[in-house]
Amino acid sequence: MGDPAIRTDAGDQGPVIDVATDPVALAAALIRADSVTPARGSVFDVLEAALLPLGFAVDRFVIGEAPDGPVENLLATRDGQGRHLAFAGHVDVVPAGNGWAGSPWSGEVRGDLLYGRGAVDMKGAVAAFIAAAVRAPGAPLTLVITGDEEGPATYGTLSLIDRMAARGIAPDLCLVGEPTSAVRLGDMVKIGRRGSVNIWIEVAGRQGHVAYPHLADNPVPRLVALLAAIDAIVLDHGNRWFQPSNIEITEIEVGNPATNLIPAAARARLSIRFNDEQSGAALVDRIRAFAAPYRATVTGRISGEAFLTRPGDWSRIITDAIVARTGVVAELSTTGGTSDARFLSRLCPTVEFGLLNATMHKVDEAVAVADLHALTDIYADIIRRVAA
């Protein structure tokens, strides 16, 4: 199939852009399509126009209502022989912020770096995988691309998973292109992630004048005592693949503007990151039982459960491809925050591997041009090894 030019047409959003299968050119085109979460429109136009000439059937759909939607997603499939690999990623980005040396949407190469919001997280990896797909035309592939990974994720990857189920799309393996590398490309591969749950606590009291405390019920001492007890909890000590689970107090709020008023209620919020020895529901129940003696109400929201893809054939394919291209022996890790891999791991063995994470979400986010080409080589090798 070679390396034919891809004609990327932004439709009504702008002029026709001709880019090669060079991942740098495609990443630059994606960066120029402003896509602060939730992403819609032009960035998906660029993707669709790049994928259609490569034999992919492209399914774009918009779903959801405010405040978490609407969100646009893209599901692209290509038939072939061998094991079916899914690549998952997102083209939405966090706001640019102030202080950039140039435009955050320029997609400009300066020196050895490509600059722009999303260069690392994660338009660069999306572009690298599409360029890699050109080099393995016979491999069956699915791209699972959301516009809502950086946001609430209410209508993003979960909606794509439902779409895949309705269409009978069942990949054998999944690669998520999040920026996992720490110091140099290929030094870290994520084979799991900790789960995340946020918990809101409210202690009710009875409002009154501070000069007459016997006529009131101050909820603040009870909340402070409860939080001290929660802070002393040791959930576990970690295990071979995961660090210990931790509970963090992230907010305390009373909202009392008066100096002589005992408040009617006091509130706090917890964030728990937990390993595979815990579950989100069990943690909410545990905090609720713990809070009962303090006459507190507890509400929990589980963002995702912990998952682990145990080392084996899938992680070995990835690490072998990394060694072959870079000579780097990757560390298998479960560190860091959550990603959409927490949802995709329900479908099949899921591993994350992508660019250096040093500048993600930062001002002057940038990726090394050499790393984009190297990642494309690695992804192409992974595709071939999976389909073999």
Marked catalytic residue, from 149, 276, 364, 365: 149
Residue 209 annotated as binding site: no
Structure tokens of 142? Answer: 């699915």
Same CATH topology for 6-193+306-387 and 195-304: the answer is no
**Distance of alpha carbon 223 from alpha carbon 269, whole angstroms:** 11
Assess contact for 91 and 30: CB atoms under 8 A: yes
Dihedral Cα 361, 74, 160, 195, nearest 10 deg = -10
Look at 10 and 267; give whichever has higher pLDDT.
267
Residue 150 annotated as binding site: yes
Structure tokens of 145? Answer: 């691309």
* Structure confidence by residue, pLDDT tens digits, 42-76: 999 999 999 999 999 999 999 999 999 999 999 99
Structure tokens of 90? Answer: 């997102």
Question: What is 6-193+306-387's CATH topology?
Answer: Aminopeptidase (3.40.630)
The closest of 311, 307, 313, 305 to 332, measured between CA atoms, is: 311
Residue 178 annotated as binding site: yes
**Distance of alpha carbon 358 from alpha carbon 212, whole angstroms:** 56
The closest of 293, 286, 303, 199 to 251, measured between CA atoms, is: 199
pLDDT at 34: 83
Q: Residue holding tokens 């660019």?
A: 355
Give residue limits of the domains in the chain.
6-193+306-387, 195-304
Which residues have a Cβ under 8 Å from the Cβ of 16 and sit 6 or more positions away?
Answer: 7, 8, 9, 10
Structure tokens of 273? Answer: 């990151």
277 as an active site residue: the answer is no
Q: Are strands 307-308 and 366-368 parallel, antiparallel or unpaired?
A: unpaired
**Which listed CATH number (3.30.70.360, 3.55.50.30, 3.30.460.80, 3.30.2420.10) goes with 195-304?**
3.30.70.360
* Structure confidence by residue, pLDDT tens digits, 93-139: 999 999 999 999 999 999 999 999 999 999 999 999 999 999 999 99
Element (H, E) at 379: helix 369-387
User: Band of the pLDDT at 19, cuts 50, 70, 90?
Assistant: low
Look at 283 and 151; give whichever has higher pLDDT.
283
149 as an active site residue: the answer is yes
User: Band of the pLDDT at 21, cuts 50, 70, 90?
Assistant: confident
pLDDT at 101: 96
* Structure confidence by residue, pLDDT tens digits, 296-354: 999 999 999 999 999 999 999 999 999 999 999 999 999 988 899 999 999 999 999 99
Assess contact for 202 and 294: CB atoms under 8 A: no
Marked catalytic residue, from 22, 72, 92, 352: 92
Q: Residue holding tokens 């789960």?
A: 195
Does the reported pTM lie above 0.95? Answer: no
Residue 2, pLDDT above cutoff 60: no
**Rounded-to-5 percentages of helix, strand, coil across the chain:** 30, 30, 40
The closest of 265, 267, 304 to 283, measured between CA atoms, is: 304
